[in-house]
């Protein structure tokens, strides 16, 4: 049933052909029939660090999707990015949208990366999308916000694509839909040009850009992945993510206080979604040292609480997942 549903989406939606897939002689063009590749882009090579959010998903057809670039991608010129066909942004808080960024990998420490390059008022996500001629696929009024930023950067505002809850949109071989997240989504005045931005900051208020989101991605090999964004426990994790889409790979925030904590995230994974594999995210801590989990960390607490097979997002390490959600390489 899942494969049939995915095929229906692919036939019905408007396709955006990825640049990588157009070159049949490229490595991406010869990757058909293989798994989905997931590469974390954190602040420090081989580690899971305090500000890490960003992941690149590569479909077997070569479509490459950047999720929540945040502060640990060194702009559009970051050599780790390669071709990017779509940029996903779960919500517009600075640590996901990107109010600042690293200048280079391994600057500062894993606990306190050097993200001193300001990217306001445009954002790291918008600058990457414009620099890569990529689509931005978001829910709610965030699409209007990104259209304006792309135009300001000399890009095409039509590349900001809306997909509301319940709908889907194709980018290459990947069907993308948004799902509800329980969080806030206020836009800092730093991203708003002119007097309005200054008034917002003076008043201690944020601009409205609609509700935050998570994503469900259905890849061309049949793998379904749930990207939680920042959220607490939601009913849709059961009714939509699990029962409708049958997600087999989950990326979930574990940072606590502002999002689900380690035990709450483990509950979502084991008792509600029930995937094959999970990748923890948004730990807000130096989660590893020399690639090993730091004792006493929230990440360690999550790994001890969750029964589903978990894979750490060590920056620069590419993991490959088959249609069942099992990791077949790099884990």
Tell me the domains of the chain and their CATH numbers: 2-329 (3.60.15.10)
Please tell me the number of Cα atoms within 13 Å of 100 on its side-chain side: 9
pLDDT band at residue 13, thresholds of 50, 70 and 90?
very low
Whether residue 108 is predicted with pLDDT greater than 80 in this model: the reply is: yes
Whether residue 8 is predicted with pLDDT greater than 70 in this model: the reply is: no
Whether residue 267 is predicted with pLDDT greater than 50 in this model: the reply is: yes
Answer with the residue of higher pLDDT: 9 or 62: 62
Q: Which of 231, 192, 230, 185 is nearest to 208 (CA)?
A: 185
Q: What average pLDDT does range 4-29 have in this prediction?
A: 40
Please tell me the number of Cα atoms within 13 Å of 192 on its side-chain side: 18
Residue 161 has a pLDDT of 98
Whether residue 266 is predicted with pLDDT greater than 70 in this model: the reply is: yes
Question: For residues 215 and 172, what is the distance between their CA atoms, to the nearest angstrom?
Answer: 16
Chain segment 181-240, per-residue pLDDT in tens: 999 999 999 999 999 999 999 999 999 999 999 999 999 999 999 999 999 999 999 999
Enter the pTM of the model.
0.90
Q: Where are the alpha helices (DSSP H) in the chain?
A: 2-12, 19-22, 94-97, 124-132, 142-152, 194-203, 236, 262-267, 298-305
If you average pLDDT over every residue of the chain, what do you get? 91
Residue 252 has a pLDDT of 98
Percentage of residues in the chain having pLDDT higher than 70? 90
Compute φ and ψ for 280, nearest 5 degrees.
-70, 150
Q: Which of 17, 15, 146 is nearest to 88 (CA)?
A: 146
pLDDT band at residue 34, thresholds of 50, 70 and 90?
confident
Chain segment 120-146, per-residue pLDDT in tens: 999 999 999 999 999 999 999 999 999
Residue 17 has a pLDDT of 43
Chain segment 268-311, per-residue pLDDT in tens: 999 999 999 999 999 999 999 999 999 999 999 999 999 999 99
Q: What average pLDDT does range 135-159 have in this prediction?
A: 97
Residue with tokens 């989660």: 287
């Amino acid at each position: 049933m899942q494969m049939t549903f995915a095929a229906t989406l692919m036939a019905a939606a408007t396709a955006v052909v990825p640049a990588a897939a157009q070159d049949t002689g490229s490595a991406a063009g010869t990757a058909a029939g293989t798994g989905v590749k997931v590469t974390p882009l954190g602040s420090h090579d081989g580690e899971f660090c305090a500000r890490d959010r960003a992941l690149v998903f590569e479909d077997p057809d070569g479509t490459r999707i950047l999720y929540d670039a945040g502060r640990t991608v060194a702009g559009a010129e970051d050599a780790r990015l390669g071709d990017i066909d779509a940029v996903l942004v779960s919500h517009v808080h600075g640590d996901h949208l990107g109010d600042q960024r690293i200048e280079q990998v391994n600057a500062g420490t894993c606990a306190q990366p050097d993200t001193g390059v300001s990217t306001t008022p445009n954002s790291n996500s918008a600058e990457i999308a414009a620099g890569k001629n990529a689509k931005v696929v978001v829910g709610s009024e965030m699409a209007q916000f990104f259209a304006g930023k792309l135009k300001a950067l000399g890009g095409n505002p039509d590349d900001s694509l809306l997909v509301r809850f319940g709908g889907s949109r194709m980018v290459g071989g990947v069907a993308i839909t948004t799902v509800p997240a329980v969080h806030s989504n206020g836009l800092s005045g730093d991203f708003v040009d002119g007097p309005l931005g200054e008034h917002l900051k003076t008043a201690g208020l944020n601009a409205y850009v609609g509700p935050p989101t998570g994503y469900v991605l259905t890849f061309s090999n049949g793998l379904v992945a749930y990207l939680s964004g920042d959220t607490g426990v939601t009913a849709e994790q059961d009714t939509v993510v699990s029962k409708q889409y049958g997600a087999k790979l989950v990326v979930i925030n574990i940072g606590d206080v502002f999002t689900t904590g380690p035990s709450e995230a483990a509950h979502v994974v084991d008792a509600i979604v029930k995937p094959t594999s999970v990748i923890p995210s948004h730990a807000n801590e130096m989660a590893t040292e020399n690639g090993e989990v730091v004792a006493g960390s929230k990440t360690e607490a999550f790994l001890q609480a969750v029964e589903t097979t978990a894979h750490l997002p060590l920056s620069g390490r590419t993991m490959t997942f088959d249609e069942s959600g099992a990791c077949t390489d790099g884990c």
